[in-house]
Amino acid sequence: MKQTVQMKRIQEKMQPGVITRDGFLGTDRRNLVDILVEDDAEVRRMDLDHQAVARRMIELRDAGMRGLGDFITVEPHYEVRVDSARGKLPCPFGDPGVFPKTNTTVRNLNLDREIVYTDLNIHMILAHGFYEGKGAAFRVEPRDLVHILDIAPERE
């Protein structure tokens, strides 16, 4: 798919040192449009959409909030920790608002695996279907999210 001028501008804001020190793209050399298209296809192959993924991320973050920075048990088989750092970040897609620097760590005790995501990850997945570039510090693989957070397609 062709990268629009607007996408190109957004991708410039994702470079290291613009919004965050390390940027949002890692070692990914692809155009933003291709990153988006590929992750979208991956999520669809699992019979899900970005809203369903983000909803589950929010649910577990909210459940973990009452731990006030420590791991707490969340039924049926998770430990969740939510830590907040000072400061807020804007979204590189340029929509209004800023996002607190909140990291949520979810450990799935059944699988013995964990994943970390930020409030900005949640927003970018929900609003833009963006999981960050390969090799980015906060890249979240759609497949890992779905697996570790036990996200299942909704049955009609």
Q: Which of 12, 77, 95, 152 binds Zn ion (CB under 5 A)?
A: 95
Q: How far is Cα 80 from Cα 82, in angstroms, rounded to an integer?
A: 7
SS3 97: coil
Rule CB under 5 A: is residue 106 a binding residue for Zn ion?
no
Residue 148 to residue 55: CA distance in whole angstroms: 14
Q: Which stretch in 50-58, 86-94, 109-117, 131-139 sits in contact with Zn ion by CB under 5 A?
A: 86-94
Q: Of the two residues 10 and 80, which places its CB atom closer to Zn ion in the complex? A: 10
Q: For 5-153, list the strands marked E by DSSP.
A: 72-74, 78-90, 98-108, 113-118
Q: Least Å distance between CB 91 and Zn ion?
A: 3
The residue among 71 and 93 lying less far from Zn ion, judged by its C-beta, is: 93
Out of 93, 108, 126, 147, the residue judged to bind Zn ion by CB under 5 A: 93
Rg of the Cα atoms in the chain: 16
Q: How big is the CA angle at 50 (ends 63 and 121), to the nearest 5 degrees?
A: 60
71 is an interface residue for Zn ion by CB under 5 A: no
Cβ-based nearer residue to Zn ion, 41 or 98: 98
CA dist 54 and 1 (Å) reads: 25
* C-beta of 60 vs 91, nearer to Zn ion: 91
Contact status: 140 vs Zn ion (CB under 5 A): no
